[in-house]
Amino acid sequence: MPTAAKEPPTDNAMDVDPATQAPAVVAPLPDDDQMEITSASEDQFHALLRIFYQRLFPFTDFYRWLGYGNPDNGYFAKREWSFTLASDVYIRFQSFAGPEELRTAIVHQCPVKIDIGAVYNLQPKDKKTVLPGAFVAKERELVFDIDLTDYDDVRTCCSAADICRKCWDFMTIAIKILHRALTDDFGFKHLLWVYSGRRGVHCWVSDDRARKLSHEARAAIVSYLSVVSSNAGQDRSTAAVNAPDAGGESEDDIVHGLGGEDSEGEREDSRRAAGGGGNDSAKGEDDSESEDERGDGKKRKRSRRRDLDDEEEEEPPLDSRAPELFHYSLRRAHRVLHKHFRKTVLVEMNSLATRPRYSKILAMVPDADIRTRLDEEWKTAQGSSIDRWKRLLAEMGRSRHCATTERDIMFKFLYPRLDANVSIGINHLLKSPFCVHPKTGKVCVPIDPTRCSDFNPLTVPTLQGIVGELNTNAKQNSDEGAEEDFERTALNAHIQTFRKFLHGIAQETKARLRAEEAAASKRVDMQRLAEKENRRDLTF
């Protein structure tokens, strides 16, 4: 239920009144071939859910994950868990010493939704025993929440809660771009991508360093990763591709203000570099790196020529913001966008086919001549999005105002749209992996980022499906004693994905422990050495 995940109750919510703070009833069902849970089958759903928790839910794996190799220092026990019960009662600030306690509670209460919160300075269940100020959130994974409902202005296939394979492309692209940025740029290694059960994905960046990030650091990372500005409200994507929002933050420039001695010169420099310059080796290399799906040399030549033209141009309205956009991480993202734009936007979304659709794109073209000309041309005739896009590119190639427009459009349509609040607040809750979505019955399974293009949200295991498999597949494998129940179900592959992620964490923990041990023994050695030295001193 992404709605609830996005706006978890505040800290005190539960103290006020559990009933009124319960998440709102979820939106109407997707109207496709997915299984629906009607109120008539609610009892059946809970019976299945209980079996799911009893026999399939990977509690020990959760412990391995959230224990982070610190079983003794109570790290796991200081984690907040919250349950949404079938009665819509919402229980916050629960905590469990270990996997058995967690299992007992979950099997017993059979929550329809499980949220995972922060690691606190004490066990959340003891919250009431201390003064309000003395209970503080210390750490949490750096999490991201991307939801297809935020793409409604560019989706033409479905809207609101519905999804299909076509628009799932937006999520695939988001995973590709964010994964690269988080690993390459920030050096994070342990990312868990999870299907949110309906129309989005979550990411849990679980590195030690990520968990310890301050509020400000999370905000900075989110800003670094945000291009299409998202206003918290309905229409998050109206703003054009732009530099990260500096306006709200510039107050801090006084704190960190610079002398700005050579800023003039810098700007000159950057404008030149951003505007292009075909003989510039930086530019050349970039071209060779870019994966031009169409592979037509004509396009490449055109863009070069255009870049050269721009260098002669004195007018910098777009170029002046290009340096931001040309940040390395955005260039890298741009390559991904470029690769997907044709298939996703032109073919599947068919985003230039009708007047309401192409108007959105034309609105981003800074050259009024082009806008009117193409609108005249297109509004009566029929035409494929691919042809129209080509036509638009040709027009823009001739215009002096459109140096970055093609790129801007791609970012606007395809660049990941983040829910900043979820990521920034340390004490925000996010739905746990392996929850069952109460409306779709789908399990929130991990997604392997290296194979995210293969992920199909329409075929993920459902509660009915896997519990059914438990029965039908039981006999075949009954000989193999050590087997776990889930291995006989479609859940198996996804738990293996989860374990791959856990393995990475375990490796690092092991390495860390080894290093600590080594350091400790070295210290002992040094001590011994020192003692020896001392004795020698004595003998002299």
Annotate each residue in 31-50 with x if it binds another protein (CB under 8 A) or - if it does not, as one string.
--------------------
Interface pick for another protein out of 38, 131, 233, 255 (rule CB under 8 A): 255
Q: Find, among 150, 220, 185, the residue nearest to 332 by Cα.
A: 185
Q: Tokens 């896009």 identify what position?
A: 389
Six token digits for residue 471: 């029965």
- Return the one option of another protein, Zn ion, none that residue 167 interacts with (CB less than 5 to 8 A, by type): Zn ion
What is the secondary structure of 377-410 as a DSSP string?
HHHHS---HHHHHHHHHHHHHH-TT-TTHHHHHH
Vertex 536: Cα angle to 532 and 540 (nearest 5): 170
Q: Which does 326 bind (CB under 5 to 8 A by kind): Zn ion, another protein, none?
A: another protein
80 assigned to active site: yes
- Residue placing its CB nearer to Zn ion in the complex, 167 or 175: 167
**Of another protein, Zn ion, none, which one does residue 526 interact with (CB within 5 to 8 Å by kind)?**
none
Residue 512's H or E segment, with its range, is helix 491-539
Smallest gap, in angstroms, from Cβ of residue 415 to Zn ion?
18
448 is catalytic: no
In sequence order, what are the beta bridge partners of 462?
442
Instruction: Output the smallest distance, CB 405 to another protein, in A.
Output: 20
- Which of 144, 168, 326, 411 is close enough to bind another protein by CB under 8 A? 326
Closest CB to Zn ion among 350 and 464? 350
Q: Give 221 or 435: the residue with its C-beta nearer to another protein.
A: 221
Is position 145 annotated as part of the catalytic site?
yes
Q: Considering only CA atoms, which of 137, 142, 118 is closest in space to residue 210?
A: 142
Query: Quick check: 158 and 164 in contact, CB under 8 A?
Result: yes
Residue closer to another protein (CB basis): 20 or 279: 279
Which of 118, 274, 352, 435 touches another protein by CB under 8 A?
A: 274
User: Three-state SS string across 459-480, please?
Assistant: HCCEHHHHHHHHHHCCCCCCCC
Site for Zn ion in 115-174 (CB under 5 A): 157-158, 164, 166-167
For residue 321, state whether it binds another protein (rule: CB under 8 A): no
CB under 8 Å to 384, separation ≥6 — which residues?
352, 353
Contact call for residue 349 and Zn ion (CB under 5 A): no
Which residue's CB is nearer to another protein, number 331 or number 400? 331
Q: Please report the DSSP string for 68-113 in residue order.
A: TT-TTTTTGGGEEEEEE-TTS-EEEEE--SSHHHHHHHHHHH--SE
Instruction: For the CB of residue 457, give the shortest distance to Zn ion in the complex, in Å.
Output: 10
**Which run of H or E residues covers position 503?**
helix 491-539
Q: Mask 187-226, x = binds another protein (CB under 8 A)?
A: xx--------------------x---xx-xx-xxx-xx--
Least Å distance between CB 382 and Zn ion? 23
Chosen residue from 131, 254, 482, 538 binding another protein by CB under 8 A: 254
Among 173, 539, 182, smallest CA distance to 348 is for: 173
Amino acid at 301: K
Residue 328 binds to another protein (criterion: CB under 8 A): yes
Angstrom distance (rounded) from CA 361 to CA 338 = 16
Which active-site residues does the annotation give? 80, 145, 147
Tell me which residues touch another protein (CB under 8 A). 184-188, 209, 213-214, 216-217, 219-221, 223-224, 243-244, 246, 249-263, 266-267, 269-274, 281-282, 285-286, 323-324, 326-331
